[in-house]
Structure 1
Amino acid sequence: TISVDIRYVLWVIDKYAGAGHLVKEMDLVIGQPEEPAKAEAEAKEDMKKEVEKVAN
């Protein structure tokens, strides 16, 4: 098993692989994740809106 900190991976991609554009395209999230129940409820609500939009 190989474990590596993702910050190190991003740094290697940026500096050594010469692919900083890939890092810039990523949505890097800083902070605490949302509560799973809240995120799930929001996802369900978004799905309902999409279904209604397609149905109409």
Structure 2
Amino acid sequence: MRKTRKSKKNTKQTDLFELVAHLEQLEQISSELTMIDALGQLELSTIVEKQIDWVELDES
């Protein structure tokens, strides 16, 4: 019986470590996606500004 209990405990510990590792990976991915989103918004803003400049040049 003791081996079974110890085995279950080790399995739970392993599961916990795996979950922590996955959580860290998800946090890293989330951080990267946030950065990409911010860059995407900046890039979109730059494109719109350039288009406005072109329109102003065409009207002159």
TM-score range, shorter chain: 0.3 to 0.5
Which TM-score applies when normalising by structure 1? 0.39
Higher fraction of helix:
2
Q: Which has the higher contact order (CA 8 A, sep 6+)?
A: 1
Larger Rg: 2
